[in-house]
Amino acid sequence: MRRNVIIKTVSRFLVPFIQVYALYVIVHGALGAGGGFQGGVVFAASFILMIIAFGLTCVRERFNYKWIVMLSALGITIYATIGLLCLIPGGNYLEYGSIEALLGIPHLHGYLIDAVEIGIGITVMATMTSIIYDMGDTGGESS
């Protein structure tokens, strides 16, 4: 692909904004519309934009397959661990209120929801990016 300076500059400019918006969507999940899945997809969209602008190999050097696997595992681990932590004070799985009652910190359940959403977001982002890598991978050189 011929490198186009407009595409490159605009995407370089847009990527941080997309990512901040993604974080907003993730964190908003505790209160209203939004959440880890949607935010994760938006975050992955920033990588897709970079792939379109700079090519697959360039993005892959910075964010390789090993990172993707580790991040997707990390995300689920955050989710499942918080879920299991809720069992310690005697609540059910993912019953955030039980931890809040134990530690006595107000609004803790909200933060825990955010943490879970971040976990989901990380996994979705990593998985979406890996799907794009696999689809864009022509098996040889990419033109």
Q: Which residues bind another protein (CB under 8 A)?
A: 69-70, 73, 76-77, 80-81, 83-84, 87, 90-98
Least gap, CB of 139 to another protein (angstroms): 14
Least gap, CB of 25 to another protein (angstroms): 21
- Residue 65 contacts residue 133 (beta carbons within 8 Å): yes
Distance set, CA 124 to CA 7, 51, 58, 121 (Å): 26, 17, 21, 5
Least gap, CB of 15 to another protein (angstroms): 29
| 3 conformational bin, left if phi > 0, alpha if psi -120 to 50, beta if neither | beta
Least gap, CB of 1 to another protein (angstroms): 30
Q: Which is nearer to another protein, 55 or 97 (CB)?
A: 97
Q: Which is nearer to another protein, 30 or 51 (CB)?
A: 30
* CA 92, chain centre distance (Å): 26
Tokens coding 76:
């689920």
Q: Which is nearer to another protein, 24 or 65 (CB)?
A: 65
